[in-house]
Structure 1
Amino acid sequence: MPDLNSQVIAALLPAAYRKVFVAYSGGLDSTVLLDLCVGLPSLTGKIIAVYVDHGLQAESAGWGEHCRRQAERLGVDFQLLTVDARANNGESPEAAAREARYRALQELLAVDDIILLAQHREDQMETMLLQLFRGAGVSGLAGMPITSAFGKGQLLRPLLNVAKVEIQRYAQTQGLQWVEDPSNQSSDFGRNYLRNDILPLLKQRWPALDKTVARSAGHCGDAARMIDVWAEQILQAVVDPTDGSFNIADLSALTAMQLNCLLRHWLGRKGLKPPSQAVLQTLVEQLIGGRADALPQINIQGHSIRKYRQKLYCIPLQRLQKETQAKPWNQEQERITLGNGYVLTRSTASAGLSKNLWNSAIVTVEPRRGGETFKMPGRAGHHCLKKLYQEAGVPPWEREIRPLIYLNGRLAAVAGLWIAEWAWLSATDACYQLDWRALESMQ
């Protein structure tokens, strides 16, 4: 077995990169990782050691100071991040700390930045076994990838195929100093219980367990990637790129297993974690298999899944909050952020709402109250806004939250859809276009 050296990192580095952040807890694994980075001449001047203080233990501030001193001794930059890692109801302390840590690290990275994490082969084995005990599918059993997108940059795990014993031997040979987290000895947490009480017994019987389990994780990873490719190909055909809705008009060619797979991937695109089999069954029976004229909904993970006109929509619950009061739109404001996370923007156009009318009026943004009528440009008569929404296929919940624009108390526009005939103009750069969309879609 060759000795651990800096080439394990060099082999993973992309051709071009800007900064290299190292997640540095001060423990054995991250101490070795940082030392290996310092041993690479190509990384000189690019390394930033990052310590994340979760604030969960009295010793954490002292560990941060240790990390600072070690970074100074090695001649690398240092950054300390403080996060709120308190668990929400129903969330494990381990998961809460991990999520808080990853969020903070993601925000550090700009385009072409890299972050290195020190997970090794035994960490991979623990991750796969814990996922197995939770009933995960092949995606969960694939464990952690060596490389993955991370925020605006990239995440690398150079030690993921390295045994723990090799890391320990390297640290002893180099005379490195690290801190020991006493909570690692407590078996109250699931991972620690597995690491401290169960795996030592298993490795007595199967000494190469970390290697063989990691190999199985690799096989599951291959299978998961094949499924991902298939699912993405199908989703391209059934997902509307404008609103992300899932067309369920004709799914007869799919088996129940394939449909469940597609639903998981579609929800994953929306940022949701894989739903349980019970939730999937409810989706299929009540939404996909329900009456065409029914308007069922299922709320999970802060989102509402709804059906309208043979399409499924997944909407963050915040987006469904209706504004209840009129809001002024001052002349100098080009955009307004609404309380439900949507943004109204005004931009110059050659057709749309007359600038002269806008600039000489009191402009207000108001919620729908019911009974509004509207005369469309070039169309005879006034029409009830409800009928126009139905004709355009606007989902019922969107009709309630899409804002209306009034000039001097008169309805002039439905944001992002229509301009009233009396306010409409077509003239080069003499008009405003009004757009309404979720804030994250603009970033």
Structure 2
Amino acid sequence: MSLLDYSSIAHLIPANSGNIYIAYSGGIDSHVLLHLCASQADLHARITAVYVHHGLQAQADDWAAHCDNQSTALGIGFLCLKVDAKAANGESPEAAARQARYKALMTLIQSDDLVLFAQHREDQMETVLLQLFRGAGVRGLAAMPLAAPFGRGSLIRPLLPIPKSAIREYARVHRLNWVEDPSNQSSDFDRNFLRNQVIPLLKQRWPSLDKTVARSAQHCAEASALIATWNSAHLGSLANPEDNSLNIDKLKSLEDAEITGLLRHWFSSLGLKPPSQALLQTVKQQFLHSDAFANPHLVTQGHVLKKYRQTLYCLTEKTFAPLPDAQDWPAEKCTMRLANDCVLSLTTTNAGISQSLWHGSEITLKPRSGGEKLKLANRAGRHDLKKLFQEAGIPPWERQSRPLIYLNGQLAAVAGLWIAEWACAQIDAGCYRITWQPPQSV
């Protein structure tokens, strides 16, 4: 076995990158990665070793001091970031620590910066097995990518193709000094159970297991990329770019497997976690295969799935927050954020509410109470707002989240939609148009 050296990973670290942050726990893997990179004199000024202090181990302060000393000995900058890694209800301690670590590191990353993690080929194998035991699909079985976007920069795992044996040999030859986390010996955690009890037994039978499983992960990654490309292309023909809603009739015309993949991709595009198989089945039953006039309401991950006129929406729960009975809008304010996180803005136009009328009035925002009518320019008669909303295809929840705008107690406009004839004017750059922005979906 040839000795690991920097040339083994150099092609994975862009030469024109910005700062290089190395996630440094003080363990053998991250210490070998730090030592490898520190062997390149031209990288010294750009490298910072970062110890994330989770506060979960009694020795954490000692480990931080060790990492500081080792970094100084290598001529490398050092940072210690303290985080709150307490697990939320239903969250595993490992997941909580990982999320806290990633969040802390992301605060450092600027454009073109890199953060390097020291996961290796055995780590990849463990991840594949854990995903397999959890019933993951192709995307999950792709496990950890070699490189991925990370904040404004990139995350790279240069040791991912490297076997653990090569890392141990490098540490032995260079007489490195690292720390051992005693919790790694406990098989209470799933990954440790695999590492300590299951994988050694499997390797007795299949010595190259880490290599072959990593190869399977690569195959899954390639398949996942192809599927993502297909999903992205088809989602573009199904989704409304303004609100990311889906056309149900077009979605129903696809094969069931295609629907499943597109719904997963839709969730991902909205910044949500992949939906479970049970949730996907519920979505299909309640939104795709139900009566066209059904009004399902499904809550997941702080969002609400709704259906209107054969369109599937994913909305934040804030969307349904009630508006105050009345709220003043100071005439000098150009924007207003409402209780439901919707935003009203004034835009200068040639046609709309005259600026002199706006600034000379007492402006009040009110929710619909029912029975309101509006006389529109170029239309005969006064019209019920209910009928106007129906004609315009405005979903019911949106009708409640768009406030009515009163000038001196008289209904003048519906936010982002209509202006009453009496309040309309045409003056070059002398009018306001009111725009309405719904809550962000993510």
Evaluate the alpha carbon distance shift between residue 12 and residue 340 of structure 1 in structure 2; reply closer, same or farther with a 3 A threshold.
farther
Q: Which amino acid aligns with 1:61?
A: D
Deviations 1:352-394 (A, max 9, x none): 3322222223334433333333333333333222222211111
Q: CA deviation at 1:213?
A: 0.5
Work out the CA distance in 2 between the residues paired with 1:135 and 1:383.
55
Evaluate the alpha carbon distance shift between residue 161 and residue 270 of structure 1 in structure 2; reply closer, same or farther with a 3 A threshold.
same
Work out the CA distance in 1 between the residues paired with 2:274 and 2:412.
43
Residue equivalent to 1:424:
424
Evaluate the alpha carbon distance shift between residue 360 and residue 53 of structure 1 in structure 2; reply closer, same or farther with a 3 A threshold.
farther
Residue equivalent to 1:282:
282
Residue equivalent to 2:259:
259
Q: Which amino acid aligns with 1:219?
A: H
Q: Which amino acid aligns with 1:7?
A: S
Residue equivalent to 1:391:
391
Q: Secondary structure at the match of 1:149?
A: strand
Residue equivalent to 2:91:
91
Q: Secondary structure at the match of 1:159?
A: coil
Evaluate the alpha carbon distance shift between residue 249 and residue 184 of structure 1 in structure 2; reply closer, same or farther with a 3 A threshold.
same
Residue equivalent to 1:134:
134
Q: Secondary structure at the match of 2:45?
A: coil
Q: Which amino acid aligns with 2:21?
A: F
Residue equivalent to 1:210:
210
Deviations 1:298-320 (A, max 9, x none): 22222211111111111122332
Equivalent pair of 2:352/2:426 in contact (CA under 8 Å): yes
Residue equivalent to 1:25:
25
Task: Please say if 1:120 is aligned against 2:104.
Answer: no
Evaluate the alpha carbon distance shift between residue 24 and residue 298 of structure 1 in structure 2; reply closer, same or farther with a 3 A threshold.
same
Work out the CA distance in 2 between the residues paired with 1:120 and 1:387.
63
Residue equivalent to 2:160:
160
Deviations 1:113-162 (A, max 9, x none): 22111111111111100000000001100111111112222111111111
Q: Secondary structure at the match of 2:242?
A: coil
Counterpart mapping for 1:291-370 below 5 A? 291-370=291-370
Work out the CA distance in 2 between the residues paired with 1:13 and 1:204.
34
Equivalent pair of 2:316/2:439 in contact (CA under 8 Å): no
Q: Which amino acid aligns with 2:362?
A: I
Evaluate the alpha carbon distance shift between residue 326 and residue 47 of structure 1 in structure 2; reply closer, same or farther with a 3 A threshold.
farther
Q: Secondary structure at the match of 1:234?
A: helix
After TM superposition, what 4+ stretches of structure 1 lie above 4 angstroms from structure 2? Answer: 438-441
Counterpart mapping for 1:190-205 below 5 A? 190-205=190-205
Q: Secondary structure at the match of 2:71?
A: helix
Deviation larger for 320-329 or 252-261: 320-329
Q: CA deviation at 1:332?
A: 4.4
Task: Please say if 1:437 is aligned against 2:426.
Answer: no
Equivalent pair of 1:231/1:265 in contact (CA under 8 Å): yes
Is there any run of 5+ residues in structure 2 with no aligned partner, and where?
A: none
Residue equivalent to 1:65:
65
Q: Secondary structure at the match of 2:107?
A: helix
Equivalent pair of 2:247/2:312 in contact (CA under 8 Å): yes
Q: Which amino acid aligns with 1:193?
A: F
Work out the CA distance in 1 between the residues paired with 2:74 and 2:206.
39
Work out the CA distance in 1 between the residues paired with 2:325 and 2:76.
53
Deviations 1:161-192 (A, max 9, x none): 11112112222322333222222221111111
Evaluate the alpha carbon distance shift between residue 9 and residue 375 of structure 1 in structure 2; reply closer, same or farther with a 3 A threshold.
farther
Deviation larger for 187-196 or 76-85: 76-85
Deviation larger for 192-201 or 79-88: 79-88
Equivalent pair of 2:87/2:96 in contact (CA under 8 Å): yes
Residue equivalent to 2:229:
229
Work out the CA distance in 2 between the residues paired with 1:419 and 1:27.
66
Equivalent pair of 2:416/2:436 in contact (CA under 8 Å): yes
Evaluate the alpha carbon distance shift between residue 204 and residue 322 of structure 1 in structure 2; reply closer, same or farther with a 3 A threshold.
same
Q: Secondary structure at the match of 1:180?
A: coil
Q: CA deviation at 1:413?
A: 3.0
Deviation larger for 128-137 or 13-22: 13-22
Deviations 1:235-277 (A, max 9, x none): 1111111110111123454211111111111111112222222
Aligned residues: 442
Q: Secondary structure at the match of 1:249?
A: helix
Equivalent pair of 2:28/2:168 in contact (CA under 8 Å): yes
Work out the CA distance in 2 between the residues paired with 1:368 and 1:62.
62
Q: Which amino acid aligns with 1:45?
A: A
Q: CA deviation at 1:329?
A: 3.1
Work out the CA distance in 1 between the residues paired with 2:331 and 2:232.
44
Work out the CA distance in 2 between the residues paired with 1:424 and 1:69.
72
Equivalent pair of 2:319/2:397 in contact (CA under 8 Å): no
Identity %: 54
Work out the CA distance in 2 between the residues paired with 1:411 and 1:82.
54
Work out the CA distance in 2 between the residues paired with 1:377 and 1:48.
65
Residue equivalent to 2:246:
246
Q: Secondary structure at the match of 2:22?
A: strand
Deviations 1:99-120 (A, max 9, x none): 2222232333222222111111
Work out the CA distance in 2 between the residues paired with 1:330 and 1:64.
53
Residue equivalent to 2:103:
103
Q: Secondary structure at the match of 2:5?
A: coil
Work out the CA distance in 2 between the residues paired with 1:317 and 1:246.
18
Equivalent pair of 1:10/1:40 in contact (CA under 8 Å): no
Evaluate the alpha carbon distance shift between residue 164 and residue 248 of structure 1 in structure 2; reply closer, same or farther with a 3 A threshold.
same
Evaluate the alpha carbon distance shift between residue 342 and residue 86 of structure 1 in structure 2; reply closer, same or farther with a 3 A threshold.
farther
Evaluate the alpha carbon distance shift between residue 406 and residue 145 of structure 1 in structure 2; reply closer, same or farther with a 3 A threshold.
same
Could you state the TM-score of these two structures normalised by the residue count of structure 1? 0.92
